[in-house]
Amino acid sequence: MEKKVKRIALLSGGGDCPGLNAVIRTITKTAISKYGWEVIGYVYGYRGLYNNNYIELTEEKVESIYKEGGTILFSSNKDNLFDYLVDDGKGGKVKKDVSDVGVENLKKAGVDVLVVLGGDGTLTSARDFSRKGVNVIGVPKTMDNDLASTDVTYGFMSAMSVGTEFIDRLTTTAKSHHRVICCELMGRDAGWITLYAGLAGNAGVCLIPEIPFTIENVAKAIQKRDEAGLPYTVVAVAEGAKYADGTKVIGKIVEDSPDPIRLGGIAAKVADDLEKVIPNHEVRSVNPGHIIRGGDISAYDRILSIRYGVAAADLINEGKFGNVVTINGDKMGYTSLEEVIGAAKVGQQKHVDPQGELVKAAKAIGISFGDE
């Protein structure tokens, strides 16, 4: 490397995700104990970078956060310094590119490398800072597991495990009352959480974005279970699932967000529609929402977070800036920020294969996807 690294900075952006704290802990401990670097963390994502608001990260400060959900650095999914809302001097607001302020603050704080933990939006800004000459390392973050560049992201297994527990608990009450219960799970436009939780929890029906469904086919699957002596059904519904006619359910629009569409409410709609065609069942809907994001993280994600964190620190030491840590097969690696963001922009995210082995396995044991 041209310049010896003395101080690194971390920031987390976008939605919180199980495993963020574990990655922060690992990078901090590796940086200090293995490489002798100082570590700081900007709070509230890029907003903290803009306001030069950071905290010192020490081994003592991060030692006990390995199993905690959320992020001790807090997060924001609205603060893009390349399109940032600032005062216009006339009592109003206007969006401006204030990224130079962020670059200058990194210099003032003596930061040699910026490590960014985030998803598509957060890593897009990381790429743009890299283009401005900042030494950047990205660590991909999404519990949705939809990044094409890496096989699995930390947080996914934790979210899937909580989703499975919900389905397990709903099954006992559905069975007791011979009810149909629709459970809505997060994942945006990828069905990984719902598919895995549905399989692990033995849901009778899984509705995922990759396989459009009809209410008639879902009702047919419920009737088939009734006839097989299983007069109850849990329907696992991904928040981004869509009807065969393309209908999706949007919870609300957040105008000042880079990702303004908030999905939500499809389980309630499916329940209402089902109750009209299966009069012999009471139909309920449940939406655990952000519960699957919170709490302690799974043992698997604790280990995965250590692997991601150590790999990020090693990339810094090797001077391989402008890259994102990845895992492919059983090996840690990296991919350029340009490639990762480029793939995301053209919609090349990782989705469930409707003809894949997992879907076929689910169908083989009688789980319906509402497509036939």
pLDDT recorded at residue 344: 57
Q: Which residues of the chain have pLDDT under 50?
A: 1, 346
Q: How far is CA 223 from CA 79, 103, 230, 270, 274, in A?
A: 49, 61, 9, 16, 12
Q: Residue 188 has which token pair?
A: 């945006």
pLDDT recorded at residue 92: 86
Tell me the C-alpha distance between 246 and 15, whole Å: 27
- List phi, psi (to 5°) of 138: -105, 140
Asked whether 292 and 159 are in contact (CB, 8 A), the reply is: yes
pLDDT tens per residue across span 134-164: 999 999 998 899 888 899 999 999 999 999 9
pLDDT tens per residue across span 23-80: 999 999 999 999 999 999 999 999 999 999 999 999 999 999 999 988 999 988 778 9
Q: Residue 362 has which token pair?
A: 């689910």
Tell me the C-alpha distance between 212 and 370, whole Å: 7
- Does the annotation count 144 as an active-site position? yes
- List phi, psi (to 5°) of 10: -115, 150
Cα of first residue to Cα of last residue in the chain, in angstroms, is 58
- List phi, psi (to 5°) of 18: -55, 130
DSSP 105-164: HHHHTT-SEEEEEE-HHHHHHHHHHHHTT--EEEEE--TT---TTSS--TTHHHHHHHHH
**Which H helix or E strand runs over 352?**
none
Q: How many CB atoms lie within 10 A of CB 241?
A: 30
| pTM for the predicted model, two decimal places | 0.92
Q: Which amino acid, residue 198?
A: G
Q: Residue 171 has which token pair?
A: 């099954």
Tell me the C-alpha distance between 268 and 101, whole Å: 45
Which residue in the list 79, 112, 120, 144 is annotated as catalytic?
A: 144
Q: Are strands 38-42 and 54-57 parallel, antiparallel or unpaired?
A: antiparallel
Domain layout of the chain by residue ranges: 7-154+297-329, 159-293+352-364
pLDDT recorded at residue 340: 86
pLDDT recorded at residue 147: 86
DSSP 28: H
Q: Residue 53 has which token pair?
A: 């608001």
**Fold matches, 7-154+297-329 and 159-293+352-364:** yes
Tell me the C-alpha distance between 190 and 354, whole Å: 12
pLDDT recorded at residue 343: 60
Tell me the C-alpha distance between 140 and 1, whole Å: 24
Q: Residue 71 has which token pair?
A: 């992020």
pLDDT recorded at residue 303: 96
CATH topology of domain 159-293+352-364: Rossmann fold (3.40.50)
Q: Does domain 7-154+297-329 have CATH number 3.40.50.620?
A: no
CB-based contacts of 64, cutoff 8 Å, min separation 6? none
Helices (H), the chain: 20-33, 46-51, 59-62, 99-108, 120-131, 156-177, 192-201, 215-227, 266-277, 299-318, 337-345, 357-364
pLDDT recorded at residue 172: 97
